[in-house]
Structure formats: structure tokens, C-alpha cells
Amino acid sequence: MPLRRVAHLLLVAGLMAAACSDEPSADDGLTEEDVQTEPVGTDDRSGVEASITSPPAPVEGTFIAVAAGFWHTCAIRSDGGIECWGVNQNGVLDAPEGQFKAIAAGYGHNCAVRVDGRLECWSSERQRWSDVPEGRFTTVSAAGDNTCALRDDGDVECWGSYNDELSTPPGGHFEAVTAGAGHACVLRSGGTVQCWGANEAGQADRPASRFNTIAAGRDHTCGIRTDGTIECWGSDFLGKTDVPEGSFATLSAGVDHTCAVHTDGTAACWGSNAHGAVPAPDGQFQTVAAGADHSCGLRTDGAIECWGRRYGAGADPPGDRFVSLAAGGNHTCGLRGDGSIACWGTDLVGQTDPPGGHFNAIATGNYFACGLRLDGTIECWGFDRFGVLDNPDGQFIDVTASVGHACGLRDDGTVECWGSNSHGQTDVPAGTYWVISAGSSHNCGILLTGEAKCWGNPHAGRLNAPTGSFIAVAASGQGQPPPERQFRDSQWFIAAGDSHTCGIRLHGDVECWGSNSHGQLVAPDYEYVAVSSGVHSCGLRKDGTVDCWGWRETAPPGQFAAVEVGQGYTCGLRPDGTVECWGTLRAPPDGVTYTD
């Protein structure tokens, strides 16, 4: 899980002082009853049924179809082009050009039907998703790694799944097909349903009813009967099969929730509400797409409204000028020159609503943030999971935060941590520290001797700090620690990330240790003055340019005064105090709104 930490600026080598995993513990995540997050790169390929079984006729508005995936959403504009937003896992946001009539979103891929009936799928896993069936198709459905499409003659093709059984649909001609995470179903002309694949929860059992529409989720399946009522079967975990009453026209099944549109145009959602994907907002809809933990509905005027997890919402920073940044799980905070804080991004639990007053430093976690006030006290806000808002009393000179814990550095060099202690990350070893940095389930600090010391989760060698000094090049360029100041800025010296840590040596070279699953230990050979780590890492060179390594991150050109790595994105602070963000997080296009 990406690091959230203090990022207050220093004067750096000619730059203006600008007023920019492997195995995180389940204990550090959040439960279904609370708010949960999953790090980018997680390989939990739970299903998402996000197919548009029959695209609505174009209306005066922005979009004609929408599909909700795992961490992303895609929609077809009224001109037939595709827009995608959210987390760009596996390149799912890089849609092809052209005109399309139907779209489906899975875990790490998307597929769409062109207006001439040809299929096209996109993902960075090109070998698996570029080999799509040829011919003419009418609809497509995707969930997890599974994809099925209906030919114009009624035949069904399935591909992409690691389960060979799923890639062999029954023979015959069908009216519709829907792909779940481990199973799939077809609808025959007489309204009967046939399913195949995984059936551990009964999701592939054949119901006796006759249906007009079907939709497969992770381990449940739903259908609209010929009388307009809904029947669901399979897992009833979190109420996935507790269907509402009424007559319905369209249906979409997600991972742990389902949404449908009544014949009068109002929407209903049921199942898991861990992230606000249930219930649906008021108003009229053409269709609703249920994703992993968010939903998006196509309004009758062609606009899209989404609710639940706000993937990509708030990714674009405000136009303010800042002196430092802190990039979190799904939100970012900036410290203005007057000491006030502004936050943007996901705000499910108040993490973007900072308190008033003046601060010296900021740090962001998953669903919370902390600030260091001018009097040295710490105040945290957002979601109080693991007691992360119960910050200790007294004065501090630095604060750092991560997935479910935070740490503060006192003036005497002692460190106090609070929140989740699932891997001993709040059990601080003795020593006098100069700076500290919180990772997903481990922490690292630099002692006054210049040595790096780490504690917490030992997995993948993240505690195996190399010997030698890690005090960074100071603003004076003399290779000495900066003079004592009112607060200290961890980011300039050491950065604990998701499952690795990077530190800056005396002469500006970066050394990293821990997991190298994405090449995050191999820093380019330059002289750096600051480093920030998450799943990937970025460093600020002495000349003000930024380098990023691991997880396919590429920084934009030009000079920066600071850099901050978040979950699936990076933000940099330009010398004039403006913010520029890049990476895998993409904001929604015009015409898309989010509802709390």
C-alpha cells in the first residue's frame, strides 16, 4: 500500500521554495462492515458482471452505455467513442479508437463490440486478450478474467479464463449470455437458463423459472423473469439474493451486490454496502452497471451518475498553490503557504474534510489523514479504523501515516506510533531518530547516526535495511543534515512503501530494499534530493526533474519541487506551487457525477 507521509518543502539546489504490494495484511485492510481498500496489484480476481446486454438507443446527452469493472469504469459516448476512468490496472483505461455499440468491463481487461459487430478487447496482458474471436457479435459480457460474447447468429464464444471449462460453452443458439467470475450462463429463446463452470454456492444451478434477462456475478446469478420480477440464486452472503419487489427492465450483477432498473425508470441495488454501492440514488435511469464496490447508472438524459467507491473521482487537483503534498490511498492533501490544508479525492468517511487552523506538515493514510499543528500537536481526521484518530498527546516535529497506522517523531528523537499493530508496526525499537516513514505494515527511520532501522512486517526483506549512512544531501549541497528546524520532512531522506523502502545516501544515490516484484528496487543512477515510495517509487533529482521506477510509472517532463506517490498515482509539486498528478488514476470525463 503506498506510503502517506509528510512532504513539506526545503530549498533545493536552485529550485524556488514552492509554496507535489506484495502481501499487505488483511488486518490492515477494512472489513465489509467498514470501509475496505485493496492495493493496486492485488490478484484477487473476483468477478464483476458489467456487461451491457443490449445498448440503449442513443439519446440527447453524453453517453449511451456504461460498464463498471473492478477498479474502473468505461462508457460509450453518444458519438460511439469510449471513455474510461479510475485505476489503470493492466492498461484498462487505454481504450481503442472508433465507434462501438456495446461494452463490458472485467477485472483487468475490457471488451467492446464495434458498430460493425467486430469485437475488440484491451489490456496490458496482450497475449491473452488480443486473440479474440473473429466474426460479428451483438453483445459481450466480462467478469474477472472470463469473457463471453453472443454472435449475431446466436452462437456463444467464451475465452480468457484460466478455467478451460468456462471456455467451452454449450452448443446451440441463444438470446443472451452473461459471464461471472467462475461461471457463465446463457438464455435460450424460450426463456430457460443454462449455466456452467464453478458452482460452489449454487450459482450455476438451473432455476425452473423463465427469464427475459440474466446477469452473473462472482458467486451468484440473477435474472428478470418473464413477469418482470427478479430471482437470484447462489451465494446469499451480504444479502446478494434478497431481491426487491417490483417489475424490472434491466439488470447487472457485480461482485457482492446487484442493481436493476424498474420499469418506471427508478433504480434499486441490494447486497454489500461496504463502500456505498447500495442503495441506488433517486431519479430515472436507462440502465445501471454494478462493479466490484461501486455502481454507475446511465440517466435518461445520457448523463452518468456513480456511487460507492470513487475510483478516479477527485484525481484532478484543485487550482490552488501549495507548499507540500501528501498522497494517500484514494485522496490527496495539500498544505498551503498560510498553513491551511485542502484535500481532494474520495471522501467516503470525511478524509477530505480537514480541520481548520494552521499546520506545519500533513500525512495521509488509506481513509484518514493527519496534520502537525504549529504548536506541535497532531490532529487526525477521517475513518477511525484501528484507532488511527486517537493520536497521542504532546508535541511532535513530524508525522507520517499509511494503511492503518501513523507515527509521530518527537523533538528528543523518540517515536510514537498508533493504530493497527498487526505486524508490530507500532512497536518502535529504541533509538534516537532523525526522520521516520510509515509503510503499509512496516516503518523505517534514520537514526542520528545515519543508520536506517526498520520494524514491523518482515515479509520480503522489507526490514533488511543495508548498513551505512542514509542522511540525504541537504539544500546547501554539502552532504550534511539540514539545520534544526521546527519540523522535519521524512520524504527527503527515506520512504517506506507498500513492501519496499528507499533511502538516499550521503551523495544523493538511492538504495532500496524489500520486495522487487515490480522492479521497485532498481532506481535510476542519478543524484537525488528526495524520494517517495508506494507500490512504485519516485525520486526528485538535484536538477528538479523526477524519475519513477517500478509499476510502469513515467513522470512528466519539467522541474518539480517535491514528489508524492499515492495508490496507483503520483503527484508532483511544481516550483510555482501548482500540482500535477499522473499515473494509473484517471479522473472521470465531463458528464459523469458522483453521489455520496
Residue 349: its pLDDT value, please?
Answer: 85
Alpha-carbon distance of 434 to 413, in angstroms, equals: 6
pLDDT computed for residue 78 by the predictor: 95
Confidence at residue 36, expressed as pLDDT on a 0 to 100 scale: 35
Q: Which pLDDT does position 34 carry in this prediction? A: 38
How far apart CA 536 and CA 499 sit, in angstroms, is 10
Question: What are 500's strand-pairing partners?
Answer: 514
Mean pLDDT across the chain, nearest whole number? 85
Q: Tell me which of 158-172, 184-198, 420-434 is least confident.
A: 158-172
Cα torsion angle, 184, 190, 191, 192, sign: negative
Strands (E), 152-219: 156-159, 176-179, 183-187, 193-197, 211-216
The pLDDT assigned to 160 comes to 84
Q: How does pLDDT run across 166-191, given as a tens digit for each residue?
A: 888 998 999 999 999 999 999 999 99
In this structure, CATH architecture of domain 4-20+322-595: 7 Propeller (2.130)
Apex 296 CA angle, 294 and 302, nearest 5: 170
Q: Rounded CA gap, 94 and 83, in Å?
A: 9
| pLDDT over 90, % of the chain | 67
| pLDDT value at residue 28 | 40
Q: How far apart are CA 536 and CA 179, in angstroms?
A: 33
How many Cβ atoms from other residues are within 10 Å of residue 469's Cβ?
17
pLDDT of residue 214: 98
Is residue 142 within 8 Å of 113, Cβ to Cβ?
no
* Domain 63-308 in CATH 2.130.10.30: yes
In degrees, rounded to 5, the angle at the alpha carbon of residue 35 between the alpha carbons of residues 31 and 41 is 80
Give the pLDDT confidence score for residue 275 in this predicted structure. Answer: 80
Segment 16-42 shows an average pLDDT of: 34
Grid-cell match 473521482, residue found:
313
Contact 93, 585 (CB under 8 A): no
CB 200 within 8 A of CB 29: no
Q: Compare 434 and 125 and report the one with higher pLDDT.
A: 434
Task: Output the nine-digit C-alpha cell for 356.
Answer: 481548520
Q: Are 221 and 185 in contact (CB under 8 A)?
A: yes
Angular region, 43: left φ>0, alpha ψ -120 to 50, beta rest = alpha
Q: How far apart are the first and last CA of the chain?
A: 25
Sign for the pseudo-dihedral over CA of 491, 497, 502, 508? negative
3-state SS of the chain: helix, strand, coil percent to 5?
5, 40, 55
Same topology, domains 4-20+322-595 and 63-308? Answer is yes
Q: Note the pLDDT of residue 274.
A: 76
Reading the block at residue 268, the C-alpha cell is 434499486
Asked if residue 135 has pLDDT above 80, the reply is yes
The whole-number pLDDT of residue 30 equals 37
- The count of other CB atoms within 10 Å of the CB of residue 92 is 26
* Rounded Cα distance, 68 and 161, in Å: 19
Whole-number pLDDT of residue 129: 57
**Lowest mean pLDDT across 160-169, 263-272, 571-580:** 160-169
Domain spans of the chain, in order of start: 4-20+322-595, 63-308
So what's the pLDDT on residue 314?
58
When pLDDT is cut at 50, 70 and 90, the band that residue 360 belongs to is very high
- 340: its cell numbers: 491551511
| The pLDDT value given to residue 593 | 86
Q: What is the band of 105 on the pLDDT scale with cuts at 50, 70, 90? A: very high
According to the model, what pLDDT value does residue 491 have? Answer: 52
Only one residue has cell 426487491, namely: 244
Pair 526, 567: CB distance under 8 Å: no
Residues in the chain: 596
**For residue 397, which of 419, 374, 428 has the smallest C-alpha distance?**
374
Return d(Cα 121, Cα 416) in angstroms, integer: 50
Q: What is the rounded distance in angstroms from the CA atom of residue 303 to the CA atom of residue 315?
A: 20
pLDDT (average), residues 556-578: 92
- Check pLDDT > 80 for residue 520: yes
What is residue 132's DSSP assignment? P
Q: Give pTM, 2 decimals.
A: 0.67
**Which three cell numbers, joined as nine digits, stand for 353?**
474534510
Residue pLDDT, tens place only, 441-489 = 999 999 999 999 999 999 999 999 999 988 743 332 333 333 333 344 5
pLDDT > 80? residue 46: no
| DSSP code string of 240-300 | TT-PPPS-EEEEEE-SSEEEEEETTS-EEEEE--TTS--SPPSS-EEEEEE-SSEEEEEET
Amino acid in the structure at residue 169: P
Neighbours of 171 (CB within 10 A): 8
- Rounded Cα–Cα distance for residues 487 and 453 (Å): 20
**Using alpha carbons only, how large is the chain's radius of gyration in Å?**
25
Whether the link from the prior residue into 279 is cis, omega within 30° of 0, is yes
Residue 21 has pLDDT above 50, yes or no: no
